[in-house]
């Protein structure tokens, strides 16, 4: 497949790298333009592209940028893109640490519902719930004991199925996380978020999530990231 990845940082760059190994044709884009991506693209076997180029001929478009940057993407970016193109949203909302307050999400809109609204296109929420290091290092062949599972949520169902196959190809057990309405179950800080669980445990974690706690889950995850950054700073000082 031809896959356009918008955002070539920790997660987008890793996804592009792993997908290129599967012989997909990868186009990668960032905010600074294709020239800035020449080295990375050559290293991983992708084609550097503008944001528009990364979308116009792709079968799958992966949006992997800070949530707040979604509003900076060109207006009507996906307007001319064929309905069959699957749009994947890896974004997580970190209001205190990175994104600033987005009133609609703070008011209860699900993160991927907000991205859908901004893009004017349905999105499939995936790969938001694994750290890039784990994505890079922990993929295993299907059937391997201890294989990590990843959930995928969003509509339409056939687009979700396409992404579930990608998850499997990348070395992770695919778990159907339901429609976009259920995508909150894998948002930051939920029991299913970045825990590297196996398929059964992940399904349980998705069910255990409590919608009334979304804001608390998010705050808890931001507190965890703060602690992790502080620990790394101390390590560097030591
Ligand atoms: N890192 C992880 O382990 C991880 C795991 C799960 C989910 N996520 C989520 O996935 C998203 C990406 O995370 P990340 O860690 O890869 O972030 P990152 O390392 O900070 O990289 C962000 C990327 O987005 C690009 N970008 C920013 N604004 C853009 C715009 N307007 N147009 C095009 N590209 C733009 C940046 O390009 P420039 O450098 O040129 O500005 C950069 O390549 C975030 O929402 C994050 O919360 C991350």
Q: How confident is the model at residue 91 (pLDDT cuts 50, 70, 90)?
A: very high
Q: What is the mean pLDDT of the chain?
A: 97
- C-alpha of residue 62 to centroid of ligand 1, in Å: 11
Q: Is residue 30 part of a domain?
A: no
Q: How confident is the model at residue 233, as a pLDDT?
A: 85
Per-residue pLDDT, 88: 98
The pTM of the whole model exceeds 0.85 = yes
Q: Which ligand 1 atom is nearest residue 51's CA?
A: 33
Within a domain: residue 51? no
Residues 76-90 pLDDT 10s: 999 889 999 999 999
pLDDT digits (tens, 9 = 90+) for 14-60: 999 999 999 999 999 999 999 999 999 999 999 999 999 999 999 99
Residue 37 lies in a domain: no
89 CA → ligand 1 middle, Å? 11
Q: Looking at the domain assignment, is residue 113 inside a domain?
A: yes
Q: What is the CATH number of the domain that holds 126?
A: 3.40.50.720
Please indicate, yes or no, if residue 193 is contained in any of the structural domains: yes
Is residue 53 one of the residues assigned to a domain? no
Whole domain around residue 87: which residue ranges?
66-237
Contact between 132 and 11 (Cβ < 8 Å): yes
pLDDT recorded at residue 127: 98
Domain count, the chain: 1
Q: 13 CA distance to ligand 1 centroid (A)?
A: 9
Burial class (CB in 10 A: 0-12, 13-18, 19+), 237: exposed
Secondary structure of residue 79 in the 3-state scheme? coil
Q: Provide the token pair at 23.
A: 């012989």
Q: Is residue 164 part of a domain?
A: yes
Query: Ligand 1 site: residues with CB under 6 angstroms?
Result: 6-12, 29-32, 51, 64-67, 69, 72-73, 90-92, 128, 131-132
């Amino acid at each position: 497949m031809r896959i356009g990845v918008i955002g070539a940082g920790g997660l987008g760059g890793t996804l592009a790298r792993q997908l290129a190994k599967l012989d997909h044709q990868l186009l990668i884009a960032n905010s600074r333009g294709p020239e800035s991506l020449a080295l990375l693209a050559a290293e991983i076997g992708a084609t550097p592209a503008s944001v528009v180029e990364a979308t116009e001929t792709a079968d799958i478009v992966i949006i992997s940028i800070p949530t707040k940057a979604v509003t900076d993407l060109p207006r009507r970016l996906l307007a001319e893109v064929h309905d069959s193109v699957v749009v994947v949203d890896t974004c997580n909302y970190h209001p205190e640490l990175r994104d600033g307050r987005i009133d609609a999400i703070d008011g209860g809109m699900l993160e991927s519902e907000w991205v859908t609204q901004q893009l004017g296109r349905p999105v499939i929420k995936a790969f938001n719930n694994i750290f890039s290091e784990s994505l890079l290092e922990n993929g295993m062949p299907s059937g391997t004991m201890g294989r990590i599972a990843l959930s995928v949520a969003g509509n339409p169902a056939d687009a979700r199925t396409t992404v579930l196959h990608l998850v499997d190809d990348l070395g992770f057990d695919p778990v159907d996380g339901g429609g976009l309405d259920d995508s909150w179950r894998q948002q930051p800080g939920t029991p299913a978020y970045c825990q590297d669980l196996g398929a059964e445990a992940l399904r349980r974690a998705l069910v255990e999530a409590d919608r009334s706690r979304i804001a608390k889950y998010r705050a808890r995850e931001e507190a965890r990231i703060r602690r992790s950054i502080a620990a790394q700073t101390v390590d560097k000082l030591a």
